[in-house]
Structures are given as structure tokens and as C-alpha cells.
Amino acid sequence: MSLTTHVTVDNIYDFKPTNINGKETSLNEFKGEVLLVVNTASECGYTPQYEGLQKLHEKYSKKGFNVLGFPANNFGGQEPGTDKQIKKFCKVNYGVSFPMFSKVSVKGNDQHPLFDHLTSAENPDFTGEIKWNFEKFLISKEGTLLHRFRSDVEPQSKKLTNAIEKALNQ
């Protein structure tokens, strides 16, 4: 019998996921920045959103904003690659320069603790399981979840850019 233990934290800074290069990285490194955490995949209909995510990163990074990409193979086997293959794919096809992390599970019994926290954290939008690749979690400068966006919300949509700008100005 397996028991899923929910992690109870006030912010995301206690998490230490492994980055795409295999190094444990404390999210505390991003303290004071607005973050957009995204579960990504290389073989998905939403994969072209990497381009928009990179543009957001370029537009707002000097203002204290970062996109954090977390590849996941939970939906339709759309992220079959190794970390090395994913890193190369993102760089070659989309020029990704924002921080990417090692492939994780974003739902189910092996769900990464960060995504357990993000899918259950209170926010004005919705809680619960991630439905598909490229869901987005907007994190405040204090490390708390401000908003959640489903996969169909484009990175450069007014809805998302307005929320980012509002968070940066708080």
C-alpha cells in the first residue's frame, strides 16, 4: 500500500529539484523573483509554446522574472527523451535560455513534491491535478502561487502577460 504524503510549505523555496544538468538546485536561488513554472514536453501540440516562453523570459528577466521549465512524460508519452536530449531539443529548436530542470512526474503516485504543492496550493483560479503539458503556475516574489493557467493559455496572451506585469509591480 502506498501513501501519498502532501508536503505542507508556505512557499516554493524549500524545494530542491535537480536541474537539466543533473545538479540539485534550491528554488531559494530565485527568491524575490516572479516565476512561471511550466510542465513541458517536446512532442506535444503545445510544444511551440517554448518560443513564447522564451520571449517572456527575454522581455521580463531584467525586471526580476524567470520561466522554470519542468519536462514531464505524464501525458501521452510526449516527453520520451533523456535530460540531455531535452536540453538539446529546447536549445536547437527554440533557443531556450531559461532554467530547465530534470524530467519529473507532475501527477500520480510518483508526483514530484513541488507539483504536489502547486496543484494543491490555494489560488484564485483552480486547484487539482494537472490536465496536460504546458500548464503554467505564476509564483509571487514571496514564493507563493498567484495564478494557474491551463495549457491553452498562450505565453504571450494578454491574460498571462497582465498577470506577470501585475506580479512584478507588487
Among 9, 19, 31, 44, which one carries the catalytic annotation?
A: 44
Q: Could you confirm whether 44 is annotated as catalytic? A: yes
Taking the C-alpha atoms of residue 123 and residue 9, their distance in angstroms, rounded to an integer, is: 15
Which run of H or E residues covers position 137? strand 136-139
User: 72 phi and psi, to 5 degrees?
Assistant: -145, 145
Query: What are the helix and strand counts (H, E) for the chain?
Result: 4, 4
CA–CA gap between residue 5 and residue 46 (Å, rounded): 31
**Residues with a known catalytic role:** 44
